[in-house]
Amino acid sequence: MYFIELNNGVQIPQVGMGLAAVGGWQQDNEYVTDTILKAISIGYRQFDTASVYGNERALGRAIRESGLPRETFFITSKIWDTEQGRSKTHDAFARSLERLQLEYLDLYLIHWPVPAYTRETWEAMEVLYQQKKVRALGLSNFRKADIEQIATFAEVRPVCNQIELHPYFTQQPLVDYCQFHKIAISCWSPLGTGSSWSGVSQSEKPIVDPLIVKIAESHSVSPAQVILKWNVQQHRIVIPKAEKLENMRSNFLLTGFTLSNSEIREINGLNGNKRLGGDPDYAHKNNLTVKVPD
């Protein structure tokens, strides 16, 4: 298992599992728990959820049913747009812990930037950090300007920025900015799948790109493994979602091959600034209509 050391010394597994819409949007049942248990049996220890995903309870059940010690897991959750603000943040965090049935989180993220509430939200999160209820604080979908805003007042530095990143949308200027400031990059939709409700067709995804397929064949691995390795070799965290056992296994087992520098450059060259998921410039208005389930 690969690890990345965050800027506060906490280590995060470089390959984790994203839990958005496992089974379906805001599905929280035994199917979700069983899917997570399969991932645990393969070796996954980092799991990325959010209050709005509606499946924190299923993740908590899986952790308990696994029989493994809590400290072997790295658990991330996120605060939704409608939960931001000073007192609301404390309430939202407490609800997440209650649903997960955990005493602490490893990483807590602001799910989307809402600049009007960022200072209140972050300062509330800093209190949770000081109380040792969370081991690290981070961001998701934050633009350079959003990070610069936090830098003007934050006492606790964000350890990561979780962004949409795949071969068709590399966000290199933002990646360079974050990495220069020792903010780790975590990639959601690393295979370019977009959200399951986005309507992005298979033919639009980098996983079927002829270059990716060619490189995969040359290494006798899957196209998904090539894309994930491309991220891992560039010191980024990946959280692909998978529900089939064979896909979970291949996403996790990235040893036995190494991409050459020229192959990495070729994949970098596929960038077309093609966003497949939500855009932080416009997402907030729609996010306000999405309810966090109880």
For the domain that residue 28 is a member of, what is the CATH number?
A: 3.20.20.100
Counting the structural domains of the chain, the total is 1
For 125-161, the three-class secondary structure string (H helix, E strand, C coil) is: HHHHHHCCCECCEEEECCCHHHHHHHHCCCCCCCCEE
User: Can you give the pTM of this predicted structure?
Assistant: 0.96
Say how far apart CA 10 and CA 19 lie, in whole Å. Answer: 22
Tens digits of per-residue pLDDT, 45-103? 999 999 999 999 999 999 999 999 999 999 999 999 999 999 999 999 999 999 999 99
Name the nearest CA neighbour of 264 among 225, 219, 238, 227.
227
Per-residue pLDDT at 292 exceeds 80:
yes
Residue 294 lies in a domain: no
Mean pLDDT of the chain: 96
Domain of 130 in residue numbering reads as 3-287
- Tell me whether residue 49 is in a domain: yes
pLDDT, position 88: 97
Q: Residue 66: phi, psi to the nearest 5?
A: -65, -25
pLDDT tens for 221-278 read: 999 999 999 999 999 999 999 999 999 999 999 999 999 999 999 999 999 999 999 9
Indicate the length of the chain as a whole number.
294
Bridge pairing between strands 11-13 and 3-5: antiparallel
| 168 domain-assigned | yes
265 within domain boundaries: yes
Res 197: pLDDT:
53
Give CA angle at 217 (224, 251), nearest 5°: 20
Q: Report the run of H or E that residue 94 belongs to, with start and end.
A: helix 86-100
Residue 177 pLDDT > 80, yes or no?
yes
Whether residue 240 lies inside any domain: the answer is: yes
- pLDDT at position 202 is 79
Helix (H, G, I), strand (E, B) or coil at 254: coil
Is the pLDDT at 195 greater than 70, yes or no?
Answer: no
Judge whether 292 lies within some domain: no
Q: Is residue 293 included in any domain, yes or no? A: no
Query: For residue 105, is pLDDT > 70?
Result: yes
Specify the 3-state DSSP secondary structure of 120: helix
Q: Please indicate, yes or no, if residue 178 is contained in any of the structural domains.
A: yes
List, for residues 2-50, the tens digit of each pLDDT value: 899 999 999 999 999 999 999 999 999 999 999 999 999 999 999 999 9
198 pLDDT tier (thresholds 50, 70, 90): low
- Would you please indicate which residues are annotated as catalytic (active-site) residues? 53
Compute the average pLDDT of residues 190-212.
80
